Amino acid sequence: MDKKEFAKEGYTIYIVGKHLEITDAIRTYVSKKLEKAEQLCKEIIDVTVTLDTQKLETDCSILMNCAHYHIKVHANTDNLYAAIDKASDRLLQLIRRYKGKLQSHRAKSRSAVDIHVNIIQPLRDTLQAINDEIAAETAKEQEDLWKVHPVVARETMQLKILTQDEAVMKMEITGEPFLIYRSEEDQKMKLIYRRGDENYGLVQVQ
């Protein structure tokens, strides 16, 4: 893996190459493509561009971290520079589509509530570790041991109060698979998730 870092107009660009070397030509091309986004978005903290070439395909992922939000896009083509073009065009499209809403959302004094999150330790991946312990303990003890996922830590996160349009916007620009939020319209806790058909499902949690 090859990783290049350079500063540009008050923010940092990281270019990560997987299965390819990041040349000066690639760095210059990426920098040029980000200039339009830079003109539209004035609060960029850093940008990470990940390029992965495998066989006849190239993946380009761009993660732009801004002061109050982040935008993530991805493209896949059979050409390195075409993948960069496609991903950067998608980035510009999202910035233009939501620029006004992002500015208005940032200007609002939003309230938020804290929710408690349990951090769950996964079950062991292989049977070998279990078999080693079974030799010293009874099968019943092992069943009790592995039956429940243990809670190894607890943390608190903020539950944002959003409108439905703002929730969809966040899903669009972040690329996350789901989002839990409190609805501004009815103050209900809701979960919005990305469906396989690229539409969104909305579930009222309580």
Instruction: Return d(Cα 76, Cα 87) in angstroms, integer.
Output: 8
Total-model pTM: 0.62
Of the chain, the end-to-end C-alpha distance in Å amounts to: 45
Cβ atoms within 10 Å, residue 53: 16
Neighbouring residues of 203: CB distance < 8 A, sequence distance ≥ 6 = 190, 191, 192, 193
Element (H, E) at 106: helix 80-107
Are 120 and 152 spatial neighbours (Cβ–Cβ below 8 Å)?
yes
Are 122 and 149 spatial neighbours (Cβ–Cβ below 8 Å)?
yes
Give me the pLDDT at residue 109, please: 45
Q: What is the pLDDT of residues 22-50, one digit of tens each?
A: 999 999 999 999 988 888 887 888 999 99
| Domains in the chain with CATH codes | 2-107 (3.30.160.100), 112-204 (3.30.505.50)
What mean pLDDT do residues 95-117 have? 65
Are 95 and 40 spatial neighbours (Cβ–Cβ below 8 Å)?
yes
User: What sign has the CA pseudo-torsion 68, 9, 176, 195?
Assistant: positive
Give me the pLDDT at residue 130, please: 43
Residue type, 198: E
pLDDT of 13 over the 80 cut: yes
Closest to 37 measured CA to CA, from 83, 74, 71: 71
Confidence band, pLDDT 50/70/90 cuts, at residue 143 = low
Closest to 127 measured CA to CA, from 115, 135, 119: 135
Helices (H) and strands (E) in the chain, counts: 5, 10
Q: What is the pLDDT of residues 151-168, one digit of tens each?
A: 777 877 677 888 888 888
Are 30 and 38 spatial neighbours (Cβ–Cβ below 8 Å)?
no
Residue type, 89: D
Element (H, E) at 127: helix 127-134
